[in-house]
Amino acid sequence: MSDTRTREPVLSVRSLTVGPTEPGSAAILSDLSFDLHSHEILGIFAETGGGKSVLSRALANWLPPTLEFRGGDIRFKGKSTLDGTGHSMLRPGREIAYIGSRPQSSLDPTIPVGPQLVEKLRAVRPEISAADARKKILKLLAEVRIPSPEERFNEYPTKYSGGMMQRAMIVDALSTDPAMIIADNVTQPLDVTIALQIVRLLQQLARQHGLSVLFLSSSLSTLNQLADRVVVLQNGRVAEIGETQALINAPATPYTRTIIDQIPRIWRSTAAPAVSTRSADQPIMSVRDVKRTYYVRRPGHLNSYNSVQAVRSVTFDVMPRDNIGIVGESGCGKSTLTRLLTALEKPEQGEILFNNRPFNQMPQKELTAARRGFQLLLQDPYNSLPPRMTVGRMIEEGMRIHGIGKGAGMRARVEQAMTDVGLPTSIYNHLPNSLSTGDRQRISVARALVLEPQLLILDETVSALDQSEQNKLLALFSRLQAEKNLTYIFISHDLAMVRRVCSRIAVMYLGELVEIADNRNLFYSARHP
Amino acid sequence: MTISPAADPSVVLKAPALRERSVGYRILAEAMRNTGFRVGLGILLLIVLASAIYPEVTSLSATKISVREKFLPPILFGEKWSFLHPLGTDQLGRDMLLRCLIGLRYSFFIGVTTVVLMFCVGCALGLVAGYKGGWWDTIIMRITDAQLSVPMIILAISILGVSTPSVLTIIIVLGLSGWPLYARVARGLAITERSREYVRGLRVLGAADLRIMLLFIAPNILPGIAFVAVLDVARMMIFEAILGFLGLGVQPPTPSFGTIISDARKYLINAWWIATMPGLFLTLVLVSINLMGSALEKARNRIYGGAS
Amino acid sequence: MFLVEYLLKRLAQGVVIVFLTSLIIFTLLRVVPGDPVRLIVGGMANDTVVKEVAEKMGLRDPIIVQYGRYIAGVVQGDFGQSYVRPRNGMVVAGGEYIDPTKSNMAPVIDLVVERLPLTLMLAGMSLVFALLVSVPLGIFGGLYPNRWPSSLALLVQSVFVSIPNFWLSIVLILFLSVKLGWMPALGYQGFAYVLLPAIVLAVEICPFLIRTLTVSLGEIMQAPFIDEARVRGLSRWRIVIGHALRNAAVPLVNLLGMQLSVLIGGVLVVEYIFDYPGLGHLTVLSVVARDFPLIQGIAILTSAVFVFINILVDLITYAIDPRVEL
């Protein structure tokens, strides 16, 4: 696809500089220059917060009022789109279409999907009749492989899954026959498998419709799957531009090299699976034939229920210092299993033993005491901490509940835990509002650590973080394991991540544990898709 | 928490104090930047101080009849006005300003006490219903619905109409008929809070339900409701006035806005100020309370909104 | 099918609520001091008459028996008869003895039905006035937060919410009716008599509407789909009218249901002041006269209206936003 270089580029960006409207503030994008050729898929890599959204918004004429063009030019099909006063004259949605990273919240939740897509098409191209627009949308919905588009057309956005909604948004972008598409982190909110489908679909559609695609992502491995060329941004500047393969195999700048080194690769056997240090001890936790069914009110009916077997006959043991990973797609029963493991819910059948004592036989008091031994770290660092409470007080809370430590002794322990997880003790009295996601997760870790648990259950704990933060936190976990003799259960949809840190991996599928094996063995003899 | 003798008490004691001050202080500071808040606060302070001090120091009486001074118009109106009676005098020659200030004492007292009562009853029930769910929820909410479906005023006047109104009965009746709204709001918020991740985190940490409710959920949802409660003080003061107007409020000769205005209707044409001045006075007080209430609410949202 | 099932369920719940309400009111009226019989027969009657009448009417039976008898009547559509109002509509002069057990007293249901249309007209007009003022203020306040339209909206709500309705009524009567003679004020002799009370009521409702509209519209305008609609190529006008307002209407409609009791409370006071012969007026008079059957009847009716309106509100909300759980 690189035979079009000689023709004029669809989009050419020259010394583009964008920054906040506040005078004197630092620019977010400075002196960016690159070209997008026709029929090309150009990948743009930047870390989270590295200016991807600002760039895509600038190109789509969608800058928020707080940002402005400071200099440079954006030329679309040879014509400048900026007027002299620093405003874009581009008609949004017509020639340059945009697909974002928030498919689930991109459409009005109170109106069915189809009519909204038609509304957009007719708003941008009023010459198309309502009937034609409907036909066109239906055709495109079929093209992006949305099953039974006629029915789906009249369904509300909340009925669409994340992947389906992203397909609908692709239809939304394609419907006006644009010349190019800006795809801003479109795979970020999706499961790995769904993300891959979306990437393939975009690739195929771009070829069929003769589109140029600007694909912005913070995952170099995703770009590797589809981009012809890649632009690497560092701090809002171009660090490197090159053919994808060449760039990945022989990065020219040290920055690119560090990025590439951070990519977890499930195919790279040199990333040795964590050595199992299993001993012949008693298991810390054992799960015996556990079953849990939910009854959900069937939509549209008052007294009929659907039963969902969220977890069926799951059995496994967790040995001391043995890191177990539990992986599966969303909806496979992982979160139910988490609730069972943490004794927030009782299984209908089977039992869970912690240090050889079954949960369901413990009296309330004993269960509370036992909770010290196993702690849960949650996914969402924004919602998992009690709001409006200072950092120190949050970490103390566990000790207060269990009545450990008093006065200055408590404070000393809290500060020790903060130091252990790499938080400065100076933020003891701060509210966590201004902390980064990584630091917030550290608070959760510290909060669990003050209780001196034996077992940490990590429910997607690092998935909300970007690659480099993830690495730092994983490093922290392995250091803590060495220092404090911890055992981890990692629950995640991210196979690659789990693969790096776990000695044994269990795969869940539709509520069942379909495979449990040593890390090394699993992928070479995978028995299940 | 107890402090072991060996520990340095200053370190430990400072921590919670610092936190309280920093957040509460920031909200107040934020609200102070709002012009409406400053104006409201100024007016309210002035009037509240006046109603606390003036009736005690003045030689005038709010109840003594003085025929010679009846129907004096307020300052700058008509011919016979005097600085002694800035809001004029009524049909019995009593000073209007003094009567307003004393009326305000009752009105304010009833307003605040009623709201505190409503707040406590409503939020406690709502919190339990929302957090516990199940039967707790069903029973509490059905009672709430029933109570809510009879407009407060019908309930209040029915009860007060057949019993003898006094400050205490007024507070109880208003408080007991006003709690359902608080219960509803508290329940809604408690349900949202209950499903938040941090509650799951706390439960795994080992916290009991009561601890989560009182230490975490309550401090999270109550301030939000408390700020609305500031606005409700104004509403209850109006309510008290309405009851007085209907003859079901604080009984004469104690001056109350409602009774003053109700009595003055007879003299509306000749002495318009007797009916209008107390209303204007009350409106001024209520506007200042409302301005402060909404400024506080805004400030709180901004501080907690995570914008900082 | 689903909707029918839902409606049946809600109506059943509604009946329970109305039932509870009637029980509360009935009990309250009878436990508070004050003997209704004394009132019925007049102050002059001797104790034997009091006793006789009380027994005849069953007013000395246990409360639960009285309630059972009452509710049995209600189920058959009989809300009892007024204690003090004869059929011809005039209130009995004090002391004159009319045997309340006879059928020459007005049935509660007639009294209520007769007044209802006037009150509905008043409520409707005031709602129209209130929407006329608060919708534009609320929309512009919500669209331009931190600019003058939102300050104006805030000021209007702060002032309106602070004005006591009875005082405003008096001031309006004084200026618009007495001094300027623009509108008639007291009684009811035609449509023009609705205007003044409706304005007073509108002032009372406005603050809630403005507040809800500004807040919910302000929130919706921050929603990602509104932001994204811009890059999808929709015009601002289309975004605001077609999507933002639609979403902001949900809390507004809900509020109307919730604030119904404020409206009813206002109706009561305003009708009383303007001598407007509606239900509110009737309520105040019946409370003053301790006319228990009438108070009960009105309370049951209002709570039924409340239940009905709230079912309606939920249906409308569901029609606008299908995510709302029924």
- Are residues A208 and A310 part of one domain? no
State the Cα–Cα distance between residues B275 and B267, nearest whole angstrom: 8
Rounded-to-integer distance, Cα B244 and Cα B263, Å: 10
The first and second tokens of residue A446, run together, are 């510290």
CA atoms within 13 A on the CB side of A317: 11
pLDDT at A135 over 90: yes
**What gap in Å lies between CA B37 and CA B43, rounded to an integer?**
10
CB contact under 8 A, A302 and C223: no
> Lowest-pLDDT range, B120-124, B149-153, B293-297?
B149-153
What proportions of chain B, in percent to the nearest 5, are helix, strand and coil? 75, 0, 25
* Tokens representing residue A127 in the block: 């010459």
The 10 Å Cβ neighbour count of residue A270 is 5
3-class SS of residue A455: strand
Give yes or no for a contact between A291 and A333, defined as CB atoms under 8 angstroms apart.
no
Q: What angle do CA C106, C107, C112 make, to 5 degrees?
A: 100
**Which two three-digit tokens encode residue C126?**
């005031």
CB atoms < 10 A from the CB of C162, how many? 22
Q: Is residue A429 part of a domain?
A: yes
pLDDT, average across residues A492-519: 78
Q: Is residue A505 part of a domain?
A: yes
Does one domain contain both A229 and A312?
Answer: no
Q: How many domains does chain A have?
A: 2
Q: What does the alpha-carbon distance between residue A297 and residue A291 come to, in Å, rounded to a whole number?
A: 20
Same structural domain for residues A425 and A459? yes
Per cent of chain A over pLDDT 70 is 88
Residue C133 pLDDT > 90: yes
CB contact under 8 A, C246 and A158: no
C-beta atoms of C228 and A106 within 8 A: yes
* Per-residue pLDDT band at A271 (split at 50, 70, 90): very low
Residue A524 has pLDDT above 80, yes or no: no
Q: Do C21 and B146 count as a contact with CB atoms less than 8 A apart?
A: yes
For B155, other C-beta atoms within 10 Å of its C-beta total 23
Top residue of A63, A91, A108 to mutate, by most chain C CBs within 10 Å, is A108
Compute the distance between CA of residue B245 and CA of residue B243 in angstroms, rounded to an integer: 5
Residue B102 token pair: 């004393």
Q: What is the pLDDT of residue A229?
A: 92
- The segment with the largest mean pLDDT, out of A70-79, A489-498, B142-151, C195-204, is C195-204
Nearest to B4 among A369, A406, A447 (CB): A406
Average pLDDT over residues B136-157: 79
Chain B residue with the nearest C-alpha to that of C15: B146
pLDDT at B14: 35
Q: Which residues from chain C sit within 8 angstroms of residue A119, using beta carbons?
A: 234, 238, 242
Could you tell me which CATH class the domain C111-320 is placed in? mainly alpha
Question: Are residues A307 and A251 located together in one domain of the fold?
Answer: no
Dmax over CA atoms of chain C, in Å, equals 86
Q: Are residues A218 and A357 in the same domain?
A: no
**pLDDT at site C32:** 67
Mean pLDDT, residues A309-324 taken together: 80
Show which of residues 79-118 on chain C sit within 8 Å of chain B, judged by CB atoms. Answer: none
Q: Highest mean pLDDT: which of A187-201, A218-232, C41-55, C251-265?
A: A218-232
Distance from the B9 Cα atom to the nearest Cα atom in chain C, whole angstroms: 45
Distance CA C215, CA C210 (A): 8
Residues of A in contact with C2 (CB under 8 A): 300-302
* Chains B & C: contacts with CB separation below 8 Å: 155
| Distance to chain B for A216, nearest Cα, Å | 27
**What is residue A26's DSSP assignment?**
P
Average pLDDT for chain A: 80
For A507, the domain range is: 285-523
Taking residues A153-180, report their average pLDDT: 88
Residue A529: band (very low, low, confident or very high) from pLDDT cuts 50, 70, 90: very low
Could you tell me the CATH number of the domain that includes residue A419? 3.40.50.300
What is the tens place of the pLDDT at every residue in A99-124?
988 888 889 888 899 999 999 999 88
pLDDT, position B179: 86
Question: Which range among A101-105, A514-518, B236-240, C135-139 shows the weakest confidence by mean pLDDT?
Answer: A514-518
| Strands A41-45 and A29-36, bridge-based pairing | unpaired
Q: Where are the beta strands (DSSP E) in chain C?
A: 81-86, 105-107
By CB atoms closer than 10 A (0-12, 13-18, 19+), residue A215 is: buried
Which residue in chain A is spatially nearest to B198 when comparing CA positions?
A384
Of B134-143, B281-290, C44-53, give the lowest mean pLDDT range.
C44-53
In whole angstroms, what is the distance from residue C10 CA to residue C4 CA? Answer: 10
Is residue A386 one of the residues assigned to a domain?
yes
pLDDT band at A267 (very low <50, low <70, confident <90, very high): very low
Confidence of residue C39 (pLDDT cuts 50, 70, 90): low
The model's pLDDT over B126-135, given as tens digits with 9 standing for 90+, comes to: 999 888 877 8
C-alpha span between A31 and A15 (Å, rounded): 4
Other beta carbons within 10 angstroms of residue A118's beta carbon come to 22
* A341 and A194 together in one domain: no
According to the model, what pLDDT value does residue C103 have? 56
Alpha-carbon distance of A142 to A338, in angstroms, equals 37
Lowest-confidence region among A90-94, A525-529, B284-288: A525-529
First to last CA, chain C: 14
CB-based contact B198 A386, cutoff 8 Å: yes
Amino acid A117: pLDDT: 92
Contact B179, B121 (CB under 8 A): yes
- C132–chain B nearest CA distance, Å: 23
Q: Are residues A254 and A307 in the same domain?
A: no
Same domain (yes/no): A370, A503: yes
Q: Are A30 and A54 in contact (CB under 8 A)?
A: no
Residue to test with chain A: of C143, C232, C325, most A Cβ within 10 A: C232
Compare A280 and A141 and report the one with higher pLDDT: A141
Measured at the CA of A206, the angle between CA A204 and CA A207, to 5 degrees, comes to: 65
Reported as a pLDDT band with limits 50, 70 and 90, residue A305 is low
Question: Do the domain assignments include residue A133?
Answer: no
B220–A388 CB contact, under 8 Å: yes
DSSP string for residues in A55-124: HHHHHTT---TTEEEEEEEEEETTEE-B-TTS-B---TTTSEEEE-S-GGGSS-TTS-HHHHHHHHHHHH
Helix (H, G, I), strand (E, B) or coil at C89: coil
User: pLDDT tens digit string along A346-374?
Assistant: 888 888 888 877 877 778 778 888 888 88
Residues 165-194 of B with CB under 8 A from C: 181
Give the model's confidence band at C137: pLDDT under 50 very low, under 70 low, under 90 confident, else very high: very high
What is the residue extent of each domain of chain C? Answer: 2-108, 111-320
d(CA B15, CA B77): 59
More confident residue, A13 or B203: A13
Q: Is residue A387 part of a domain?
A: yes
How far does the CA of residue C209 sit from the closest CA of chain A (Å)? 22
Percent of chain C, pLDDT > 90? 6
CA distance C251 to chain A (A): 13
Q: Choose the weakest-confidence range: A86-90, A216-220, B68-72, C25-29.
A: B68-72
When pLDDT is averaged across residues B276-293 and rounded to a whole number, the result is 87
Please say if the pLDDT value at position C266 is more than 50: yes
Cβ within 8 Å, pair A93-C225: no
Mean pLDDT lowest among A223-227, B186-190, B207-211 = B207-211
What mean pLDDT, rounded, does chain C reach?
81
| A525, two tokens | 């003899």
pLDDT for C87? 65
The mean pLDDT of A292-317, rounded to a whole number, is: 70
CA distance linking residue C223 with residue C244, whole number of Å: 9
Q: Determine the distance in angstroms separating the CA of C142 from the nearest CA of chain A, rounded to an integer.
A: 17
CB contact at 8 A, A15 and A204:
no
Q: What local confidence, expressed as pLDDT, does residue C130 receive?
A: 92
Residue A134 lies in a domain: no
Q: How many CB atoms lie within 10 A of CB B79?
A: 6
**pLDDT reading at A266 higher than 50:** no
- Element (H or E) spanning A459, and its range? strand A455-459
- The answer to whether residues A343 and A222 belong to one domain is no
Task: Looking at the structure, tell me whether residues A341 and A418 fall in a common domain.
Answer: yes
- Residues on chain C touching B152 (C-beta within 8 angstroms): 261, 265
* pLDDT value of position A455: 85
Give chains near C: 3+ CB pairs under 8 A: A, B
In this complex, which of A393, A397, A408 lies closest to B4 when CB atoms are compared? A408
d(C-alpha A51, C-alpha A28), whole Å: 6
* Burial letters A283-315, b for 16+ CB under 10 A, else e: bbbbbbebbbeeeeeeeeeeeeeeeebbbbebe
* Segment of A452-461, B16-25, B145-154 carrying the highest mean pLDDT: A452-461
pLDDT tens readout for residues A378-427: 777 667 777 667 888 888 887 888 777 677 778 888 888 888 888 888 88
Structure confidence at residue B21 (pLDDT): 47
Considering the domain boundaries, does residue A187 fall inside one? Answer: yes
pLDDT score of C34 more than 70: no
What φ, ψ does residue A333 adopt, rounded to 5°? 105, 5
Sign, Cα dihedral of C202, C207, C212, C218: positive
Return the H-helix or E-strand segment holding C323: none
**Residues A227 and A314 both lie in one domain:** no
Mean pLDDT of A302-320: 75
Report the alpha-carbon distance of residue C297 to residue C83 in Å, rounded.
12
On the 0-12 / 13-18 / 19+ scale of CB atoms within 10 A, A331 is: middle
Question: Which of A70, A64, A3, A8 is closest to A35 using CA atoms?
Answer: A8
Max intra-chain CA distance, chain B = 78
pLDDT at residue A137 tops 90: yes
**CB pair distance less than 8 Å for C322 and A156:** yes
Checking if the pLDDT of B213 tops 90, the result is: no
What is the model's pTM? 0.74
Q: What are phi and psi of A304, to 5 degrees?
A: -115, 145
CA torsion, points B89, B95, B96, B98, in degrees to nearest 10?
180
Task: Give me the pLDDT at residue B11, please.
Answer: 36
* Chain A residues inside the 8 Å CB shell of C321: 109-110
Report, as an integer, the average pLDDT of C71-92.
72
Judged against a pLDDT cut of 90, whether residue A138 lies above it is answered with yes
Distance CA C201, CA B167 (A): 28
Does residue A19 lie in a domain region?
Answer: yes
Omega prior to B253 cis, within 30 of 0: yes
Test mutation, C4, C8, C231, C318, chain A, max A CBs within 10 A: C231
Q: Which of C75, C98, C85, C7 is nearest to C307 (CA)?
A: C7
The predicted pLDDT at position C95 comes to 46
What's CA B203's distance to the chain center, in Å? Answer: 36
d(CA B61, CA B59): 7
Determine the Cα–Cα distance for residues B280 and B100; give it in Å rounded to an integer. Answer: 10
Note whether A389 and A449 are same-domain residues: yes
Is the confidence at residue B230, as pLDDT, over 60? yes
Where does the pLDDT of residue C52 fall: very low under 50, low under 70, confident under 90, or very high at 90 and above? confident
Complex-level ipTM beyond the 0.85 threshold: no
- C110-118: long-range contacts, CB 8 A cutoff, minimum separation 24: C111/C82, C111/C85, C111/C282, C111/C294, C111/C297, C112/C79, C112/C279, C112/C282, C112/C297, C112/C298, C112/C301, C115/C277, C115/C278, C115/C279, C115/C281, C115/C282, C116/C278, C116/C279, C118/C188, C118/C276, C118/C277, C118/C278, C118/C279
Instruction: Give mean pLDDT, residues A257-261.
Output: 82
CB contact (8 A) between residue A158 and residue C323: yes
